[in-house]
A and B are shown apart, each in its own frame.
Chain A
């Protein structure tokens, strides 16, 4: 174990580290360019005090084309409205989610839909339901004493 040997290993390790990071970044870029429509974007900024007073549509699901739906969801302490939504396998759903009070999470269990619901922002996120079943909708941001009970449901039928 001498200085020169250590330096050679060290150079090799640094090169390996840099290469590994480059590979990770290429993978991220690939997923980003191809199919990352589950990344939440901002549909609009909104005054949170007006969400329940007509600034945001009444929570509902509407069909906007064959097999295409838009869902307007309000997350508030400590529930989601609509609390339960129904779709068919293969449906493409765009969710618009906002909060009139504090921050919440909108996480559809078993999917990549995982949104930070922030007062002042209408989050827009899209997914296609591929498997039938009951999906739990979980608030995964602390929002107060009843946070653990803030659950909703999405039912996907054949």
Chain B
């Protein structure tokens, strides 16, 4: 009897259940990954709590193992699983179609199996290679195989999204794709082009090498393939948050989205320009021609344009919301926004953090300036703003309505959620300041500086004031994470369900200027053409370098140095 009630909760729209499973798995991964975060922040506060942590959790051997878990689970697993759940759901809902359910479940199980396989060597300290897994550091083969299965799962979701779109197009000939579906589909198409680098690295280098079928790998070829995926993966994390900012936030804030065609243009630019930019992570690499580094610099600057347009559009849509809510004047309109709604606050605070993060990103992408900050704490200080604040906070905010919508269970303790959101934002900003400043003073990233040899202690003493900021941020973020994750899991685990009529709807936004009758919208709707264009552009900017390097392939044997 109980199971029948359970099934009824999803009977009206079967994709609800698989989406919920993705989102729950995503937050489970985030819970483990996030709990290592405060220890890392304290490390950069020169406080070494790892000996204590090891007593509590005997499998944790070092800062570097915790850092690997933190990076893999938060940045790679959480973001992808949340996108698989949320984007597929929003597209299905908007198109009023079900994805192929058997395939969707297969994809979820594949992600779970991949996650478990990768987790075994990670927890056993057999793959402490950080989330960039630069060879010739050599982890256990299960780590690479598990990670590859997670990527395969994402390709299945790309297929599901395209399949939904083609079915909708057949039913609605000549009509433009609905906006949220368009944004979701473009996100998946972009990822399809972007992830190819990682697929090539895993299939042709990492997996055969870790299994002992190859004597060595070329570390520079591996780096180049990694960053083919490694920069656009940031847009793959970011675009689901953009979908929420464009497609959901204006409605939640009480306004409308300013322009539908402009939102499409932004996503189309991401499809084309996201991927051919990876060399800006390799400015310090010998072996890559400075001319090609400059080409990637120009393209990276181009990909800043859609984000700058987004800053305008989202701000204008929020201004409209402030006006509709009776706000007068600059501050009046801001003050009238629903700052006490944890979901809205999470999105807006995330977007504010993104402005700071984006400005720092322009610095990193500036070829000749990057040497000041390359591999210093400036870099993690930077990406915790777009990724750990903008993306993660927006997803947490979305979970506050999406989980009640999917399960019919009301949000537990919205007040704790609200406090958690503000504390998360505060903690990240404090840490961002600390890490950016330490980076400018030359402190290296990913270093166990709280555990230096006695004769080297004090090498970074000039950064002491900023170290204090990191330590404080670690504590603030621990409280924030506890509150937010408590709300999410308490909501999921309660027995209470709202009657169908009281369940929250998906707050799809309305638009002020729509897509009707615009030729540009129909041109942008030819997505297979744009997808092909994106792929060709990537091949043009990568093939000359890769072919040259493969012609002088270096076989570096593997090392386990942790």
Contact = CB atoms under 8 A, between A and B. Distances in A.
Interface in B369-399: 369, 371-372, 374-376
A25 B445 CA distance: 27
Main secondary structure of the interface of A (DSSP, over half): mixed
B512 A148 contact: no
A118 B286 contact: yes
Interface in A61-80: 77
Given A10-B262, A140-B376, A118 B301 contact: no
Interface residues of A, number: 64
A158 interface: no
A40 B557 contact: no
A123 B366 CA distance: 21
Interface stretch (B116-124, B152-160, B303-311, B416-424): B303-311
B263 to A, nearest CB: 12
B371 A142 contact: no
Given A17-B309, A138-B442, A144-B561, A149 B371 contact: no
A45 B287 CA distance: 8
B552 interface: yes
A147 B287 contact: no
A140 B367 CA distance: 19
Contacts of A141: 134, 375, 446
A25 B220 contact: no
A114 B304 contact: no
Interface in B42-88: 62, 64
Nearest to B294: A32
Contacts of A142: 64, 130, 134, 137, 446-447
Contacts of A25: 297-298, 301
A24 B287 contact: no
Interface string B525-562: 00000000000000000000000000010111101011
Interface string B439-467: 00010111111011100100100000000
Interface stretch (B11-19, B316-324, B472-480): B316-324
Contact of A102 (B136, B284, B305): B136
B368 A32 contact: yes
Nearest to A119: B556
Contacts of A45: 287, 552, 554
Given A39-B283, A138-B444, A144-B137, A121 B371 contact: no
Interface of B: 62, 64, 130, 134, 136-137, 218-220, 223, 258-259, 262, 282-287, 290, 293-294, 297-298, 301-302, 304-305, 308-309, 312-313, 316, 319-320, 323, 362, 366-369, 371-372, 374-376, 442, 444-449, 451-453, 456, 459, 512-513, 552, 554-557, 559, 561-562
Q: Which 8 A-B pairs have the closest CB atoms?
A: A144-B561, A120-B554, A140-B444, A123-B286, A140-B375, A17-B308, A31-B368, A42-B287
9 contacts: A9-B312, A25-B301, A28-B294, A28-B368, A39-B283, A45-B287, A48-B554, A120-B218, A145-B562
Given A17-B304, A28-B369, A32-B368, 17 more contacts: A1-B320, A6-B512, A14-B312, A17-B309, A21-B304, A25-B301, A28-B366, A46-B554, A101-B561, A118-B223, A121-B286, A122-B286, A138-B444, A142-B134, A142-B447, A146-B561, A147-B448
